[in-house]
Amino acid sequence: MKKLLALVLSALVLTSLLVGCGSTESRKADVKVVTTIFPIYDWVREIAQDDADINLDLLLDNGVDLHSYQPSAKDIVDISDCDIFIYVGGESDKWVDDTLKQANNKNMTVLNLMDILGDKAKEEEVKEGMQADEDEHEKGEEHKEGEEEHEYDEHVWLSLKNSSLFVDKIAEALGKVDTQHASDFTANADAYKGKLNELDKQYQDAVDKASVKTLLFGDRFPFRYLTDDYKLDYYAAFVGCSAETEASFETITFLSGKADELQLKAIMQIETSDGSIAKTVRDNTKTKDQTILTLDSLQSVTSERAKNGETYLSIMTANLDVLKEALA
Tens of pLDDT along 222-250? 999 999 999 999 999 999 877 677 899 99
What pLDDT does 132 receive?
Answer: 78
Q: Amino acid identity of 242? A: S
Helices (H), 125-181: 134-142, 160-177
Q: What is the 3-state secondary structure (H, E, C) of 212-267?
A: CCEEEEEEEECCHHHHHHCCCEEEEEEECCCCCCCCCHHHHHHHHHHHHHCCCCEE
Mean pLDDT of 30-46: 96
pLDDT in tens, 205-214: 999 999 999 9
Q: pLDDT at residue 21 above 70?
A: no
187 and 244 in a common domain = no
Q: Structure pTM?
A: 0.87
Mean pLDDT of 106-129: 96
Rounded Cα distance between 190 and 288, Å, is 47
274 and 166 in a common domain = no
Rounded Cα distance between 303 and 306, Å, is 5
Is residue 182 included in any domain, yes or no? yes
The SS3 call for residue 90 is coil
Q: pLDDT at residue 8 above 50?
A: no
Which residue segment(s) compose the domain that 243 sits in?
A: 211-297
Q: pLDDT at residue 100 above 70?
A: yes
What pLDDT does 27 receive?
Answer: 41
Instruction: Indicate which CATH number applies to the domain containing 33.
Output: 3.40.50.1980
215 and 190 in a common domain = no
The most distant pair of C-alpha atoms in the chain lies apart, rounded to whole Å, by 99
pLDDT in tens, 62-79: 888 888 899 999 999 999
Q: Among 197, 229, 251, identify where a domain stops.
A: 197
